[in-house]
Amino acid sequence: MGRGSLLSDFEEGQILAKKEQGLSNRRIARDLGRSHAVVDNFIKNPEEYGTRRSAGRPSLLSDRDKRRILREALNSTESCMEIRSSLNLNVSKDTVWRVIRKSQFIVKRKMHKAPFMTKKTSRKSGRFPRRVQPNRME
């Protein structure tokens, strides 16, 4: 089970060059700071190295869907069910919740309390105009 990163093009070239010089696989691995297993696997079949597909159950959501979920959840108070229905996704609410939870950008925090909005405070804050003028097209 490979857990390390794939060899870079530079490392692959170094392995081939050192093998042509007659060095052993273990010596090449020691020089590169890699395991001898990765050197062995690359030398056995350089064309096929790194082309095996990863195992596991495929995701129901594409990367694009995951980005849409995160964009919808950002600065929003919608629930997972509401996000799912607004994006028209055919997955469970738990799947939406898992995507949000795995994100490093969205952190669950308690909302700050806001003062009660009265006529006096709304005039002070300037959030609501004193009179609304209709748009005039001239």
Residue-range domain boundaries for the chain: 9-44, 54-111
Phi, psi of 128 (to 5 degrees): -115, 130
CATH hierarchy code of domain 54-111: 1.10.10.10
What are the residues whose beta carbons fall under 8 Å from the beta carbon of 90, sequence distance 6 or more? 60
The separation between the first and the last C-alpha atoms of the chain, rounded to the nearest angstrom, is 72
Q: How far apart are CA 26 and CA 81, in angstroms?
A: 55
Residue % of the chain over a pLDDT of 90: 57
The pLDDT of residue 71 is: 94
pLDDT at 138 over 50: no
Query: Which of 54-63, 69-78, 85-94, 113-122 is predicted least confidently?
Result: 113-122
pLDDT of residue 15: 94
